[in-house]
């Protein structure tokens, strides 16, 4: 980790730079995959499974026994942990349901909003070495609470052609039944266009590698909504003398192990902390199975010494971290004034991994500085709001002339007529 002491205005921009993302060299590859799936459907999915994943697939769906036996293949304590996490996630997201009041904006003019679920959503769960069942919980739980009628899930099978039982168990727990064995850009294409097996959806959620990310971006241009733009994961810890350096180091490492392009930052105005945290990082790093990945991430990670709290806050808001850990005495200063962050973890007993798994907040969060303008996934992500308005006879008498005047000034006379013809009618029949 690089140490930066008292950055000045000139060095700050460079300091807060994210690691450069890989250039979009896969554009043509992904465009070809999208076109092939759009044209050939399931056949293309099978072809790519064989080509990329060396898996020969007779069917993209699960057999009844694969589905039924998932739960029995997991240890009891894992199932119980998944259940508890799902309950917390459900509690937090259920509390986001709310109805809004009707507003009388002018006497006789009543306006309101109502939420409706997005009917068809697609969840992408990456494959790879570890089964990301926590992402199933984070996406399927709010989808079901929102009331989405069709929740489609795609995930690539392992070399044995099977999906990890923890992923299936999490899906079952959330009430997701439409699970398809397909991954990569082709899975995104399948959900965007529909195939013989996989239903077409209106919005696609979930993380993935650069091919998946690019495919999501490309189908977004074609009218399918996506959860948010993606980038490497990151954490910023702001700490003072009240923190526990070993905890801070553990939090930095838990983010660093995500991938070599992850970024972890410590910001403090206590110089003594720099060395303490650095030592703890080095010591804890040695014991990690994903040491190589974490080390790579630490290459472009930083310990930053600033002059005071105010500068630390400014730096946080400029960086807009996905995860912000507040390990300082004056917590309120940061929680009150933080303007840009995905999720905030307050105090020494709140590790970021709590939010990754089980506290109840969503772990699908804006990275890459997108916390400046995007929220993490929530119940809102699975719904849209319709506005309603109802105008009475009296209301139109009150508001009609305003509409007529404005429409005329915008030279939209048919807009004006829609009011005038009604006002004439109302005056005729009092």
| Residue written as token pair 């048919």 | 414
Smallest gap, in angstroms, from Cβ of residue 144 to a copy of itself? Answer: 17
* Nearer to a copy of itself among residue 223 and residue 430 (C-beta): 223
C-alpha of 11 from chain center = 31
Question: Is 322 assigned a catalytic role?
Answer: yes
Q: Which of 234, 322, 352, 404 is catalytic?
A: 322
Minimum CB distance to a copy of itself, residue 396 (Å): 5
Residue with the two structure tokens 């690019």: 214
Min dist CB 13 to a copy of itself, Å, is 13
Please tell me the distance from the alpha carbon of residue 228 to that of residue 205, in angstroms, as a whole number: 8
Residue 307 or residue 393: which is nearer to a copy of itself going by CB? 393
Instruction: Give the nearer residue to a copy of itself in terms of CB position, either 36 or 297.
Output: 297
Cβ within 8 Å of residue 270, ≥6 positions away: 239, 240, 241
Check: CB of residue 70 under 8 Å from CB of residue 162: no
Which residue lies nearer to a copy of itself by CB, 305 or 419? 419
**HEC profile for 112-139?**
EEEEEECCEEEEECCCCCCCCHHHHHHH
Q: Report d(CA 245, CA 287) in Å as an integer.
A: 17
Q: How far is the CB of 123 from a copy of itself (least distance, A)?
A: 14
Judged by beta carbon, residue 57 or residue 368, the one nearer a copy of itself is: 368
Distances from the Cα of 257 to the Cα of 150, 263, 321, 423, angstroms:
34, 10, 17, 68
Question: Smallest distance from the beta carbon of 416 to a copy of itself, in angstroms?
Answer: 7
In the complex, what is the shortest distance from the CB of residue 244 to a copy of itself, in angstroms, rounded to a whole number?
Answer: 7
| Minimum distance from residue 163 beta carbon to a copy of itself (Å) | 15
Whether 323 sits among the annotated catalytic residues: the reply is yes
Q: Which is nearer to a copy of itself, 57 or 254 (CB)?
A: 254
Reference 174, options 154, 204, 144; nearest CA is 144
Choose between 74 and 190: whose C-beta lies nearer to a copy of itself: 74
In angstroms, give the least distance from the CB of 56 to a copy of itself.
27
Q: Are strands 343-346 and 103-106 parallel, antiparallel or unpaired?
A: unpaired
Q: Are strands 383-391 and 109-117 parallel, antiparallel or unpaired?
A: antiparallel
Our CB check for a copy of itself shows the closer of 211 and 357 to be: 357
Out of 234, 323, 352, 363, which one is annotated catalytic?
A: 323
Catalytic (active-site) positions: 322-323
């Amino acid at each position: 980790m690089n140490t930066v002491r008292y950055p000045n205005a000139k060095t700050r921009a460079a300091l807060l730079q994210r690691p450069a993302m890989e250039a979009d060299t896969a554009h043509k590859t992904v465009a070809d995959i999208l076109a092939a799936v759009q044209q050939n459907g399931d056949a293309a999915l099978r072809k790519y499974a064989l080509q990329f994943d060396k898996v020969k697939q007779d069917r993209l769906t699960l057999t009844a026994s694969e589905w039924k036996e998932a739960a029995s293949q997991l240890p009891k304590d894992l199932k119980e942990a998944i259940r508890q996490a799902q309950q917390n996630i459900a509690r937090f997201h259920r509390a986001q349901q709310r109805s809004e009041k009707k507003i009388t904006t002018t006497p006789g003019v009543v306006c309101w909003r109502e939420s409706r679920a997005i009917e068809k959503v697609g969840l992408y769960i990456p494959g790879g070495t570890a089964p990301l069942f926590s992402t199933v919980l984070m996406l399927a739980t709010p989808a079901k609470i929102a009331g989405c009628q069709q929740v489609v899930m795609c995930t690539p099978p392992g070399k044995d052609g099977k999906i990890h039982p923890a992923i299936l168990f999490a899906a079952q727990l959330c009430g997701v039944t439409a699970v398809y064995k397909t991954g990569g850009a082709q899975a995104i294409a399948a959900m965007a266009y529909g195939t013989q097996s996989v239903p077409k959806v209106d919005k696609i959620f979930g993380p993935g590698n650069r091919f998946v990310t690019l495919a999501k971006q490309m189908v977004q241009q074609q009218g399918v909504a996506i959860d948010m733009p993606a980038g490497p994961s990151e954490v910023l810890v702001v700490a003072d003398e009240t923190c526990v350096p070993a905890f801070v180091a553990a939090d930095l490492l838990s983010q660093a192990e995500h991938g070599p392009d992850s970024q972890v930052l410590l910001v403090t105005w206590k110089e003594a902390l720099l060395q303490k945290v650095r030592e703890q990082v080095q010591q804890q790093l040695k014991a990690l199975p994903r040491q190589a990945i974490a080390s790579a991430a630490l290459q472009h990670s930083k310990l930053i010494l600033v002059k005071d709290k105010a500068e630390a806050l400014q730096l946080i808001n400029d960086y807009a971290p996905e995860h912000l850990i507040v390990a300082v005495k004056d917590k309120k200063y940061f929680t009150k004034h933080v303007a840009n962050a995905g999720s905030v973890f307050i105090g020494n007993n709140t590790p970021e991994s709590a939010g990754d798994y089980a506290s109840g907040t969503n772990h699908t969060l804006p990275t890459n500085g997108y916390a400046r303008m995007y929220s993490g996934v929530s119940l809102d992500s699975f719904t849209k709001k319709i506005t309603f308005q109802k105008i009475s006879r009296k209301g139109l008498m009150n508001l009609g002339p305003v509409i007529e005047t404005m429409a005329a000034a915008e030279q939209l006379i048919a807009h004006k007529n829609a009011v005038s013809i009604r006002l004439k009618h109302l005056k005729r029949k009092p």
